[in-house]
Amino acid sequence: MKIGIIIEREYLTRVKKRSFLIITFLAPLFFAALMFLPAILMTNSEKFENKKVIAVCDESTLFNGKLENTDINTFIYIDKSIDEAKQLVKDGVYDGVLYIPGTKLTVPTNAELYSIKQQPMTLTSHIRSSMKQIVEHQKLMSSGIDPAIVKASATTINVQQIKMSEKEGGEQKSFSEFEFFLGLFLALIIYFVIFIFGNQVMRGVIEEKTNRIIEVIVSSVKPFELMMGKIIGIALVGLTQFLLWGVLTLAITGIASTFLPTQDVFSGGTVMSEQIAETGVNTTDPDTLTEVFEIIHSINFKDILWCFLLYFIGGYFLYSAMFAAIGAAVDNETDTQQFVTPISLLLVIPMVCSSIIATAPDSSFALWMSMIPFTSPVGMMLRIPFGVPIWQVVLSVALLFATFIVFTWLASKVYRTGILMYGKKVSWKEIFKWIKY
């Protein structure tokens, strides 16, 4: 009953804060902007760049008249020395000069772009691409090979992974790239949430201890009940915020997609459409749409969501218990660094090794990262989209919650002693003494 009162107090106190309301309603706008803004900027990228006139000083004469002009870049071929061309740039006649030195025995493969102002990467990229095509064409012609034949021989090979199950006829397509990014995304959410809300628990304990409010509260409830109430109350705040973020983000993106012409990004006439066309991807092709549906169908979102909730809650509870103990042991946030850093490293390790875990999700290293309770919230979420045996998930979750119970008991002993201690610099040795009491 007392824990319920503490949970209610912690939940309502934080939900009613102005900062909670601001973050809750501004974050979906930020998420929606991340989805639409890059597409809009890419579609209108040419509007943000000034038109450039580039003089070409080609001593090799191989590229004269062959560099392709664009809507924002115009190449003017001049018969002057590089020093004279540089002076024209300084006089403001040209925005820059592209100098291609001559070579006697080989095709030129180097060029230098001189300008007063820094030129955009799109310009250097365009020059590099154009010169590459011209040089390759020249080499093929010199060898007596028709470039059209080489271009026609270019072939894309696709290798589709198909998982087989022990059941007869149980086969399903697997999409490793999508599974990797899905696992990494979910692991990042758990990683940041544990630190954000775990630190909130620690700050809340420090604040109440500093204001001596804790002395009044402890007179009517046990320290263990107080600690559990704070942990669960703040966890509910986090779940509420995530639920609101999801609903509001879907609503905002749905409304925005009605008014913003983001479909132009994937249709003709834009920079993005040209890049997509170069890769041979056609978003209106039925085969492409079929592949998208196959990717969605191949992911068991129901099981992934349940696992995400279990590791989200278990990981948060485990680390929050330790953060609460740290908050009770110190008098201010400055003194927390020596204790927070070692604990943080436990969760940082699987993030640093995320590519190793995702590359070989069935390896011994990935298995241990998903079994050790301190690393399993992140490690297991990196493996889940690839498919993990049910016994491993059950064992990992059981170990996580068992460790949470043990560390909550240990943290409560630190919490009980440290919460009423003031003005003393606490060390790890002192904390271990409190646990032995």
Alpha helices by DSSP H, 91-144: 121-142
pLDDT tens across 25-41, in order?
887 787 777 766 766 66
CATH code, 46-147: 3.40.190.10
Domains of the chain, residue spans: 46-147, 173-436
Residues paired with 163 in a beta bridge: 172
The strand ranges marked E within 165-259 are 171-174
Q: How far apart are CA 291 and CA 223, in angstroms?
A: 55
Q: Which amino acid is at 248?
A: L
Mean pLDDT, contiguous 10-residue spans, the chain (437 residues): 80 83 81 69 58 87 85 87 89 90 76 86 86 86 82 73 61 67 84 84 78 69 77 82 81 71 43 42 50 59 82 88 82 77 86 84 88 90 84 92 85 75 73 76
What 8-state DSSP symbol labels residue 419? T
pLDDT tens across 170-219, in order?
665 656 677 778 888 888 888 888 888 888 888 877 777 777 666 667 66
Q: How far apart are CA 374 and CA 403, in angstroms?
A: 9
pLDDT tens across 295-341, in order?
556 566 777 888 888 898 888 888 888 888 888 787 777 777 778 88
What sign has the CA pseudo-torsion 141, 144, 147, 153? negative
